[in-house]
Amino acid sequence: MVQRCNHIISIIYSTAYRTAASPVPTVTRAIKHAHRRMAAAAAASSRGLLCAGVLLLALAVAAHGYHQLSSTFYDGSCPDAHDVVRRVIKDARVSDPRIPASLIRLHFHDCFVNGCDGSLLLDEDLPAIQTEKDVPANNKSARGFDVVDDIKAALEESCPGIVSCADILALAAEISVELVRTTYLDFVQAYLDPFQTSATNEFMVLRAGWRSTMGGSARPPRRHDDEHRERQEPTEPVRPLNVLQEKFRNFNLDDTDLVALQGAHTFGKVQCQFTQANCAAGQADDTLENLDDVTPKVFDNKYYGNLLHGRAKLPSDQVMLSDPAAAATTAPVVHRFAGNQKDFFRNFAASMVKMGNIGPLTGNDGEIRKICRRINSKGY
């Protein structure tokens, strides 16, 4: 079924890309062809229904002009990129099971401060460079930087100067979800262009994660790394609902995106000082607790069941149900996701694509760092 979904989506985008000069009739033909395939897939099994639903998102993207996409850029420029990232994460996970959740968090907080540009990775020991790494919400909490360093080193050995640190975060987040997926995650896939519509790009959501592959000719329009960012506060563990909603809306993310992306708290750990109950007597502030006590190592929808029973660990999670304004905004989405895991997976995938679209640096902006902790002109 996965192969069938992949094949149909490939038809839509490869056909549209080949005839970019006249995309409308081409996309129309692709849609008609894909509809026939979707009907057959849906009739074959219940999993086909999920495949069909996800394909509708791909069709919508194609119909709205995102037609210059390529799924083969890394085939020539860095064919082993995905495998390299996966290998490093799997090796790191042996000694540190928290790594998948930590890498997803890095991608989220990188995107939510001035866009997905890898600025979160910059060290603060260089003059005129201020980053998000040591702000209160990240200090002693954001982690996984050594794994990102290992991924970058491995990629530089395999294909020097090709994969940006910002894209490493996206790839690492996708693979991290894959590594803790449940069965359903094998059937969630969608496409969107997170860079610019005038270039050959692709952002593929795979197994409820997200793989970014960049294409182009003279100057590949990949997501570049930033060379300088002023310190800004990322989203903190404790924020009221209206503040969270405003933060998300500033990035064109709606209430469904908010609830879906908070669903990444379905696994991983948090310091007890940030939880609703806070630390027990005698516990240090940095004592770790599971974000989801029901299935702490699995990416599923049990997190939303915790919210329904008032058992969210973070106050900013529980407010999506308990805040007076939640009844007309986020609470219905929480109930939906709690009762329908497939619905959560579909929306999580779509929301991750939208998040990956936040302020990427392309064209002549930014650079491809050789070391993710340093801009190339200072420290390499």
* Annotation says 109 is catalytic: yes
pLDDT (0 to 100) of residue 275: 74
Q: Are residues 226 and 337 in the same domain?
A: no
Q: Are residues 178 and 284 in the same domain?
A: no
* Annotation: binding site: 110, 113, 115, 117, 119, 132, 265-266, 292, 295, 300
> Is 356 among the domain residues?
no
**CATH number, position 278:** 1.10.420.10
Is residue 308 scored above 80 in pLDDT? yes
> Is 287 among the domain residues?
yes
Q: Are residues 184 and 271 in the same domain?
A: no
Lowest mean pLDDT among 14-23, 137-146, 164-173, 245-254: 14-23
pLDDT (0 to 100) of residue 62: 40
> Is 297 among the domain residues?
yes
Q: Are residues 328 and 267 in the same domain?
A: yes
Q: Are residues 214 and 252 in the same domain?
A: no
**CATH number, position 207:** 1.10.520
> Is 68 among the domain residues?
no
Among residues 233, 261, 277, the one where a domain terminates is 233
| pLDDT per residue as tens digits for the range 165-184 | 888 888 888 888 878 764 33
Q: Which domain holds residue 19?
A: 2-63
> What is the average pLDDT across 247-259?
93
| pLDDT per residue as tens digits for the range 108-146 | 888 887 788 888 888 866 555 555 666 655 555 678 999
* Annotation: binding site for Ca(2+): 110, 113, 115, 117, 119, 132, 266, 292, 295, 300
* Annotation: binding site for heme b: 265
Res. 234 pLDDT band, cuts 50 70 90: very low
pLDDT (0 to 100) of residue 32: 43
Q: Are residues 46 and 121 in the same domain?
A: no
Is residue 196 scored above 70 in pLDDT? no
> What is the average pLDDT across 268-286?
77
Q: Are residues 83 and 207 in the same domain?
A: yes
> Is 375 among the domain residues?
no
Q: Are residues 182 and 104 in the same domain?
A: yes
Lowest mean pLDDT among 61-65, 234-238, 269-273: 61-65
Q: Are residues 59 and 99 in the same domain?
A: no
Q: What is the mean pLDDT of the chain?
A: 69
> What is the average pLDDT across 337-357?
85
- If one counts the domains in the chain, the total is 3
> Is 371 among the domain residues?
no
> Is 374 among the domain residues?
no
Among residues 41, 63, 85, the one where a domain terminates is 63
Question: One-letter amino acid identity for 99?
Answer: I
Q: Are residues 100 and 189 in the same domain?
A: yes
Is residue 152 scored above 90 in pLDDT? yes
d(C-alpha 60, C-alpha 82), whole Å: 27
Active-site entry in 67, 107, 109, 224 = 109
Q: Are residues 342 and 265 in the same domain?
A: yes
Most confident option among 29-33, 56-60, 61-65, 240-244: 240-244
Is residue 331 scored above 90 in pLDDT? yes
Q: Are residues 192 and 246 in the same domain?
A: no
> Is 360 among the domain residues?
no
Among residues 45, 63, 81, the one where a domain terminates is 63
> What is the average pLDDT across 326-337?
96
Q: What is the 3-state secondary structure (H, E, C) of the chain?
A: CHHHHHHHHHHHHHHHHHCCCCHHHHHHHHHHHHHHHHHHHHHHCHHHHHHHHHHHHHHHHHHCCCCCECCCHHHHHCCCHHHHHHHHHHHHHHHCCCHHHHHHHHHHHHHCCCCCCCHHHCCCCCCCCCCCCCCCCCCCCCCCHHHHHHHHHHHHHHCCCCCCHHHHHHHHHHHHHHHCCCHHHHHCEEEECCCCCCCCEEEEEECCCCEEEECCCCCCCCCEECCCCCCCCCCCCCCCHHHHHHHHHCCCCCHHHHHHHHHHHHCCEEEHHHCCCCCCCCCCCCCEEECCCCCCCCCCCHHHHHHHCCCCCCHHHHHHHHCHHHHHCCHHHHHHHHHCHHHHHHHHHHHHHHHCCCCCECCCCCECCCECCECCCCCC
pLDDT (0 to 100) of residue 197: 24
